[in-house]
Amino acid sequence: SSEVLEAIENVIEDVLKSLAQKKAPVLTLANRSGWRNIEFKDSVGLQMIPHCTTKQIRSDCPRSAPKFALMLKILSMIYKMVQTNTYATKRDIYYSDTLLFGSQSVVDNIINDISCMLKIPRRSLHILSTTKGFVAGNLSYTEEDGTKVNCTCGASAVTVPSNVQGIKNLISHAKFMLIVEKDATFQRLLDDDFCNKLSPCIMITGRGVPDLNTRLLVRKLWDTFQIPIFTLMDADPHGVEIMCIYKYGSVSMSFEAHHLTVPSIKWLGLLPSDLERLNIRKDVLIPFTKQDQNKLASIQKRPYIACQPMWKKELEIMAASKLKAEIQVLTSLSSDYLSRVYLPNKLQFGGWL
Task: State the pLDDT at residue 155.
Answer: 67
Q: At residue 129, does pLDDT exceed 90? A: no
For residue 95, indicate whether it is catalytic: yes
Whole-structure pTM value: 0.80
pLDDT the model gives residue 242: 93
Confidence of residue 234 (pLDDT cuts 50, 70, 90): very high
Average pLDDT value for residue range 220-226? 92
If you average pLDDT over residues 92-114, what whole number do you get? 89
Quickly list H helices, the chain.
Answer: 2-20, 65-84, 90-96, 98-101, 104-118, 183-191, 194-197, 212-225, 237-248, 257-260, 272-277, 290-300, 303-306, 309-321, 337, 343-349
Spot the catalytic one: 87, 95, 337, 342: 95
Q: What is the mean pLDDT of the chain?
A: 86
Per-residue pLDDT of 145-187, as tens digits, reads 888 888 885 667 888 888 888 889 999 998 999 999 998 899 8
pLDDT 10s digits, 331-352: 888 888 888 889 988 888 887 8
Q: Is 224 helix (H, G, I), strand (E, B) or coil?
A: helix
* pLDDT tens string 237-296: 999 999 988 998 877 676 666 778 888 899 998 899 998 888 888 888 889 899 999 999
Neighbours of 137 (CB within 10 A): 24
Helices (H) and strands (E) counted in the chain, each on its own, are 16, 17
Q: Please name each of the domains of the chain with its CATH number.
A: 2-128 (1.10.10.10), 134-349 (3.40.1360.10)
Query: pLDDT tens digits for 36-66?
Result: 777 777 777 777 777 777 788 888 888 888 8
Does the pLDDT of residue 317 top 80, yes or no? Answer: yes
